[in-house]
């Protein structure tokens, strides 16, 4: 397998006819994938700074971050898109450190209730009040573990082993360059790490083979996949394993919003950022590509990286390129300031409603989950809900006894996973047109976007024979320092 992967790596290492190291490199999409590509290109080669090729990043929206964004409710800012980062997401950790971003713990102490549409089948303990002593918090965590163990038994240990094996293989993507190839296909990326087989079968099939009980899969695992991917345990095994990893302890987020990762990386790369300028067409002109934007401009690019899902944008490729059909899973995020209706959940008091409500795969349940984001008082809280369809006012008035503010966001959040997965090529035309988001068909997360971006950046460097950076990358200013210099020229607004 290693020899095959090395062969895939070495083939594209030859420079293409007519390729010029001084021409523009264009990236379509200013989310975490596009921003990571810009960062890796400028940090792995010495020719893009100064008189080398110019980096252009195009974003059809008025802000950077893509599916990373915040929403303002009652004067507070909350994550509306990608919310949590795993402690072993090494690229994201490095980005936050280099950019001087403050981080905070995310989602470690949730009071979980599993709802079947009629009653709560299971609940963890109510959270302890602020200021509780260390030993009481430890005892509280132990009792919660015992509650889970009593209901789900050894399946919990088997689920953890399944996740840890996946993470161990995923860590190979951080190996040094001498032992890690760059890949022209997602299949070879996954086969090299031993993760490919997980994309061929469903999560349910994988977990049954791993020895988990049907009850654990139908309840706990289903709750997790519905929260993280809005889908059932019929999703493919690798996406399911990544989803389960999102329930582990030690999760974190960037204070003020994870979108700052993308924004900081773009600033560091010195890319020319074209906000509110979407790309309508990409035409192969022989030695370069002509990109036509919705503002009427044209750009000649030796390299073009598509860092946005082609399933959700209308970009004409000429000549046409055929890729596997893929449907995106839309997740509707609904933010409500008010108070849940205890009667809807068969309870007498709102104080008896768990702070994180996970749901089973039951057709009559209209939402995937509800969580408390902030408490302002006994009768005043901000909630976030995920659902597969828009929640109309009549339904919300049943679920909530009071609503002071409601904000709805429709995300084309991730692919709809169906095993066995099919993957579009990373190199779409065998030349210099790259597609980052094909990797999302394996699993979608901030870190998988960064992993795919690093692989594409290395492919570009080798295939254009760009000089590798010998010295340390340039100093990256702390994010607070950059913000001070930017003043009012912010590149993000709340949704």
The number of folded domains in the chain is 2
Same domain, 238 and 115: yes
Q: Residue 52 has what pLDDT? A: 60
Task: Give the percent of the chain with pLDDT over 70.
Answer: 88
The beta strands (E) that lie in 276-379 are given as: 279-284, 289-293, 298-306, 316-318, 328-340, 356-359, 369-377
| Cβ-based neighbours of 301, under 8 Å, separated by 6 or more | 23, 24, 25, 26, 56, 288, 289, 290, 291
Q: Residue 437 has what pLDDT? A: 97
Same domain, 106 and 154: yes
Query: pLDDT digits over 159-205, tens only?
Result: 999 999 999 999 999 999 888 999 999 999 999 999 999 999 999 99
| pLDDT: which is higher, 91 or 9 | 91
Same domain, 426 and 299: yes
Is 50 exceeded by the pLDDT of residue 471? Answer: no
176 within a domain of the structure (yes/no) = no
CA-atom Rg of the chain in angstroms: 23
Same domain, 408 and 423: no
Query: pLDDT digits over 378-392, tens only?
Result: 899 999 999 999 999
Last residue within a domain, chosen from 368, 391, 415: 415
Is 90 exceeded by the pLDDT of residue 110? Answer: no
- The residue range of the domain holding 7 is 2-67+256-327+418-480
Same domain, 148 and 240: yes
47 — pLDDT class (breaks 50, 70, 90): low
CATH of the domain at 365: 3.90.660
> Rounded to an integer, what is the distance from CA 118 to the centroid of its chain?
32
Average of pLDDT values for 354-371?
97
Least confident of 48-57, 99-108, 277-286, 403-412: 48-57
193 within a domain of the structure (yes/no) = no
107 within a domain of the structure (yes/no) = yes
172 within a domain of the structure (yes/no) = no
| Cβ-based neighbours of 425, under 8 Å, separated by 6 or more | 184, 185, 323, 435, 438
Query: pLDDT digits over 209-264, tens only?
Result: 999 999 999 999 999 999 999 999 999 999 999 999 988 889 999 999 999 999 99
- Going by their DSSP bridges, the two strands 400-415 and 369-377 should be labelled as unpaired
Same domain, 426 and 468: yes
Q: Residue 469 has what pLDDT? A: 64
Q: Residue 177 has what pLDDT? A: 86
366 within a domain of the structure (yes/no) = yes
299 within a domain of the structure (yes/no) = yes
Same domain, 30 and 51: yes
Same domain, 38 and 129: no
Least confident of 62-71, 153-162, 358-367, 461-470: 461-470
470 — pLDDT class (breaks 50, 70, 90): low
84 within a domain of the structure (yes/no) = yes
Q: Residue 472 has what pLDDT? A: 47
Same domain, 436 and 456: yes
C-beta separation of 375 from 381 below 8 A: yes
108 — pLDDT class (breaks 50, 70, 90): low
Last residue within a domain, chosen from 374, 400, 415: 415
Q: Residue 484 has what pLDDT? A: 47
SS3 160: helix
Which residues, listed in sequence order, are joined to residue 340 by a DSSP beta bridge? 400
Residue 21 phi, psi (nearest 5): -70, -10
Is 70 exceeded by the pLDDT of residue 489? Answer: no
State the distance between the two ends of the chain, measured CA to CA, in whole angstroms. Answer: 46
Q: Residue 8 has what pLDDT? A: 34
Same domain, 74 and 62: no
Q: Residue 466 has what pLDDT? A: 76
238 within a domain of the structure (yes/no) = yes
Is 60 exceeded by the pLDDT of residue 50? Answer: no
The structure's pTM equals: 0.89
Query: pLDDT digits over 353-362, tens only?
Result: 999 999 999 9
Q: Residue 9 has what pLDDT? A: 34
What integer best gives the mean pLDDT of the chain? 89
Which residues, listed in sequence order, are joined to residue 282 by a DSSP beta bridge? 291, 317
CATH of the domain at 12: 3.50.50.60
What is the H or E stretch that residue 387 is in? Answer: strand 380-387
Q: Among 431, 335, 344, which Cα is nearest to 383's? A: 335
Same domain, 344 and 323: no
Residue 332 phi, psi (nearest 5): -95, 115
Last residue within a domain, chosen from 363, 383, 415: 415
Same domain, 424 and 401: no
Query: pLDDT digits over 411-469, tens only?
Result: 999 999 999 999 999 999 999 999 999 999 999 999 999 999 999 999 999 988 777 76
């Amino acid at each position: 397998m290693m020899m095959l992967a090395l062969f895939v790596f070495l083939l594209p290492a030859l420079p293409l006819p007519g390729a010029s190291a001084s021409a523009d490199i264009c990236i379509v999409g200013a989310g975490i994938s596009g921003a990571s590509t810009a960062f890796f290109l400028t940090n792995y080669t010495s020719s893009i700074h100064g008189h080398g090729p110019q980096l252009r990043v195009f974003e059809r929206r008025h802000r950077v971050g893509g599916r990373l964004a915040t929403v303002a409710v009652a004067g507070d800012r909350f994550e509306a898109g990608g919310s949590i980062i795993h402690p072993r997401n090494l690229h994201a950790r490095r980005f936050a450190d280099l950019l001087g971003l403050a981080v905070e713990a995310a989602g470690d102490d949730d009071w979980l209730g599993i709802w079947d549409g009629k009653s709560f089948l299971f609940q963890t303990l109510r959270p302890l009040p602020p200021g509780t002593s260390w030993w009481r918090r430890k005892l509280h965590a132990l009792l919660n573990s015992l509650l889970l163990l009593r209901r789900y038994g050894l399946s919990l240990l088997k689920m953890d082993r399944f996740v840890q094996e996946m993470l161990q293989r995923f860590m190979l993507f951080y190996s040094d360059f001498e032992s890690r190839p760059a890949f022209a296909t997602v299949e070879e990326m996954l086969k090299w790490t031993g993760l490919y087989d997980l994309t061929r079968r469903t999560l349910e099939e994988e977990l049954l083979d791993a020895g988990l009980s049907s009850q654990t899969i139908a309840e706990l695992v289903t709750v997790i996949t519905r929260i993280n991917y809005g889908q059932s345990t019929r999703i493919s095994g690798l996406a399911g394993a990544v989803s389960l990893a999102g329930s582990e302890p030690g999760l974190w987020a960037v204070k003020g919003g994870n979108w700052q990762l993308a924004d900081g990386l773009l600033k560091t790369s010195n890319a020319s950022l074209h906000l509110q300028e979407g790309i309508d067409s990409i035409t192969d002109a022989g030695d370069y590509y002509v990109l036509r934007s919705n503002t009427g401009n044209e750009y000649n690019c030796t390299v073009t990286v598509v860092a946005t899902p082609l399933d959700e944008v209308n970009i004409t490729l000429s000549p046409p390129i055929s890729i596997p059909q893929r449907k995106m899973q839309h997740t509707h995020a609904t933010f409500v300031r008010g108070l849940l209706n205890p009667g809807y959940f068969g309870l007498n008091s709102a104080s008896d409603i768990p702070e994180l409500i996970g749901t089973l795969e039951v057709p009559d349940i209209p939402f995937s989950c509800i969580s408390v984001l902030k408490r302002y008082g006994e009768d005043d809280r901000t909630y976030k809900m995920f659902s597969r369809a828009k929640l109309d006012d009549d339904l919300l008035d049943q679920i909530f006894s009071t609503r002071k503010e409601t904000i709805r966001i429709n995300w084309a959040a991730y692919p709809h996973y169906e095993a066995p997965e099919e993957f579009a090529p990373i190199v779409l035309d065998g030349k210099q047109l790259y597609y980052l988001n094909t990797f999302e068909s394996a699993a979608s997360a901030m870190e998988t976007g960064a992993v795919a971006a690093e692989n594409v950046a290395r492919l570009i460097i080798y295939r254009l024979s760009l000089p590798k950076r010998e010295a340390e990358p340039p100093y990256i200013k702390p994010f607070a320092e950059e913000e001070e210099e930017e003043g009012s020229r912010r590149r993000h607004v709340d949704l």
